[in-house]
A = this chain, B = another copy of it.
Amino acid sequence: MKLINRDVDYAARALVFMARANKPTVSVAEMSGKVGVAGPFLRKIMQKLAKAGVVHAVKGKGGGFAMARRPEAVTLRRLIDVLQGPLKLNDCVFRQRICQNHAGCVLRHKIAGMEQRLLAEVEAVTVRDLA
């Protein structure tokens, strides 16, 4: 049971790299080596981040990506939401026929509580904390 997948991990690294680099834009080619991931793969990740507004893309020669917000405004929760979908600890377990039985209800209720507390924790971690 992974809290984060590789996409999120790579994204975190890349964003830290960008936050540290004092440049208007950083290209994937520059980052991929340092982040430790193949270029095309990282690009796919950056594209998702761009679509979600976490970073800003600049096409053409000399282009690349730039952070769209300050590092302390980018939370781990946001990265998880964008790159692996919303954090739902109850995900997909008995979509149908929810709570026919009492035990399931109680269990799911308890898990929902855990989810809330975990969400608060991932919300509290920012790119700034990682840099």
Q: Are A88 and B1 in contact (CB under 8 A)?
A: yes
A78 within 8 A of B: no
Please, which residues of chain B bring their CB within 8 A of the CB of A35? 101
Q: Select A103's contact among B2, B84, B92, B130, beta carbons within 8 Å.
A: B130
A104 within 8 A of B: yes
Please, which residues of chain B bring their CB within 8 A of the CB of A88? 1
For this complex, into which size category does the number of interface residues on chain A fall?
A: 35 or more
Assembly stoichiometry (copies):
2
Q: Select A118's contact among B36, B90, B118, beta carbons within 8 Å.
A: B118
The verdict on A93 contacting B2 (CB below 8 Å), with A36-B100, A117-B117, A130-B106 known, is: yes
Q: Are B130 and A90 in contact (CB under 8 A)?
A: no
A61 within 8 A of B: no
Q: Select A93's contact among B5, B103, B125, B130, beta carbons within 8 Å.
A: B5
A-B contact pairs, 30 of them (CB 8 A): A1-B3, A1-B84, A1-B89, A2-B89, A2-B91, A2-B93, A3-B89, A3-B90, A3-B114, A3-B115, A4-B89, A4-B93, A4-B107, A9-B107, A12-B107, A13-B104, A16-B101, A34-B101, A36-B97, A36-B100, A36-B101, A76-B107, A102-B130, A106-B129, A106-B130, A110-B125, A110-B129, A114-B122, A117-B117, A118-B118
